[in-house]
Structure 1
């Protein structure tokens, strides 16, 4: 979210419930649960209680009323995952990234605490794992993506050994901080997989933070820091890539392009990489610390689904987020095939556009508001500096502030560490934040 860019019973009105002498309700009582009788039809059905799902449910509540909206989400907790970069580096506590799902779903909206089993857009319904069928008038798919650690031989069981962590999972992010603290000497390896990933800058953010930590603790001279990435470039936007390459050079970090992690031998502290430019060729690296960015892909329920493209991503128009085949189906966030980075900042920009799109469809009009691919990646380079990357579908900078955001700045770091989490919980999830475009226009005096 750049700069400033960055689960069923009836619910009664809150005011009478909060009168003196009347017991207060817990957050979960504000929503209904799957164990109670639920309706089998909603005007708007939202699949997923992550960033995209919660932000859109808030917007739809204002549009059609809380009783006409339901969110399907199995998990009890909601996480602000961008904070995990700092959790893995010991700069934030994991608890700070968590809220109860009951606290983030807008009051009055139905929370169906269950998993989606099948989507049937031809009949305007979905089937849940509890064998319930829910019909809808409009469907918003916000199912995120799936971490596939099992695609790497030796994982996830390898996380039971020391010296290995991953900032991408709530179960392994604190292992990163442990591995970072326990590092003594040798290769410190950071990986980037050969799949789409969420927050493509995160695999190297933890590398820069690790380097800074070891400098601070006097271990830097004993660390051979290596970034093995499946990509052919350090970052997809040239302006920010140039700045990152300068940092990499000044900090004596080794980058091996087109190297993909295929196996972890945790008992031997060995990582095996395939050379993507030499099919079949592999290299074995000994490590003193290993940070794994797992392969990722669409959720299983989307594979071979009518709403998905050949790769399993929800097939939507890249400008309106409306499904290409089903006009009453929409997608947002990581589960879609939008050709932009999968970040919370991108979801912010998408949510504002999707709100307008659905409004137009509801009125029988053609959507006119267009999503330009805006996304942001605050590239944390130390414990008090960050590069604020913002860009569009064309991999061109789309910066909020009238300064060169490719430079490391203290202000950019504090936006990442403090302002963006606040904006996430109190703006984006409540449906009030659609990205920094209006602020950008103001600060650039109306110029693009």
Structure 2
């Protein structure tokens, strides 16, 4: 073999190796249980189109929140703002946005869960609050006073005295709200026995999606739902949320109210993990016309006497639990409720999941009892990651569709083979 032949062979093999490495490096990174290219549900919000005021100090921020003309965006520069009072938004179309898009760069600190200031009071329609952190408010981080089309997006809300987000039942209630792509949490617990992650009264067509919720609980383990829609709310969508060590999970309606406390709505593709003491994690109470489908809940520390993790309660409650994956019973007819149970699996084990101790409830290959065991539901065409259902011959039970990423030739980069 002459020198030129050796060179050609060397460069040819080198080029082939680079092709292989490039092809591997261009593949999307996917955790176990994911496949293909999941839909991205948390893209940055589009740039503002109206007037923009750049904010760099606390006094200007509170002043402009109240006085800025309708449609104005307050673009808040990076920093920690030690708030000297609450923020009050009264003009329609105001946007409060962190300048960088990184919610950790702008921190609004209201002084303390006890003894601090109220957070942001919204008394106008079409208000957006995005790309920032709200912490240490003594009441609510954000309170929507019966206003329509609020957008709460890419927020970090932590350590708030009472409910982190409140929707109050003023006028005809709040319509078409969005809480998405945010992290809401307590470092340990609330300061007292009164809190929720979001408590929404008379709220209609709200969507709560793609959020992380951590330790929404009280010191005495009072039954406070993390996500609560009640007082005549309707058509709520709660999807693709992760709840970790919250005392109680998702509730449509409240046991202290009466019939029609919630109408319609869907709870789908949520993952719920509880290692600290907990109550039920999905409950439909004085609620009718709902669907609770393809949720995954691993519940490891139930309260005394608790043997079920999801429930429908009272005779006016009617809806369907379908293809949920959990390790505790689902009680569909508590106190005379009319909850239909379809294809749920209630004997899940920690070993069925990728990393249960870390709250990662994607399916592992060991979850054979859940994989390809559901029937299609038109209301649930994707999963927790946005992967389409089904990946195999049938949908999987629970929030995750298990499957490896298929080989796609379009993922490859082809490099020229050098033959000199």
TM tier, shorter chain?
A: under 0.3
TM-score where L is the length of structure 1: 0.22
Name the structure with the higher helix share. 1
Flag the structure with more relative contact order, 1 or 2, with Cα contacts below 8 A and sequence separation at least 6.
1
TM-score where L is the length of structure 2: 0.23
